[in-house]
Structure 1
């Protein structure tokens, strides 16, 4: 069990493996995992139909709930698609509040081949409120651009290649060791 407090922020393009790695890492550390998509999908359930405009509004609302819940914790794994810092875009969870967290934050960036991420994205089954089918053309265009951004660049960062998720335990082992070393946490797992 991880006795030190801190946060691990999972970043990467859509379908890069953030959720799978984040949940496995949270389980390894015995930490709570806060996933923005879980909050967003709970909001979708309140409506019979979610169009793109409502989806965007619910996404921003979920960002606020995500921020409030993270600030109420002393540690945890934070999974979201984060807004690229310094880029003129309106999508993604804002990062300006991360400095207000109670404990240090380390970014765990899931680097994934854009083609692999696109294939995963096309195959995954998410709540219809995401409107993935309507957004598919714009998202596919964004994959290469998002891959070029890389990590957020403002936090201590560990990058792992998540193009192959067949051995998530090995990826989590690698990530956990690097996160511990980066935060100078003692080996207590």
Structure 2
């Protein structure tokens, strides 16, 4: 069945559908002439996602758990329809989108850490939150801080050395190239350099007077 970009809130999924899909009618929200893909293309994604949960009688509804943590779908009703269609077509222990679940034991510590980290990043490092952490935690379940640090280091290297920027002072260069290009300018503005130049100018003036 075809699903469209507007059925999702997650920007990565929306971009994937836009880049991979074709204009058709959506089988879930019923919109016409909109970018769609066959939902089967996302079966592996949902299978991996469902594997992160265990059935628990005092747990939370699966749809609420997913929306609360990742805001995956455009609304709950659409999410229910999509998830129930997927569940009916893949091999999973989940019975339906209303199943009461909790995260698997081995990732609960990681999830708790993520909640704490989100609050810190929300106020302290908004850019990293939006550009790295929010995307990374949607794509991958981290089992240790060390694993997260490795991915962050890799992203920072890409951000500084490979990704070109169009912002102020970068003009299409990478941040590292901008930094290297500006070293000579910065050196000229050092107090030591300015003081040395002042000495030369002062000495030259005295010579001229003499």
TM-score normalised according to structure 2 size: 0.26
User: Which has the larger Rg?
Assistant: 2
Q: Please state which structure has a larger fraction of its residues in helix.
A: 2
**RCO (CA 8 Å, sep 6+): is it higher in 1 or 2?**
1
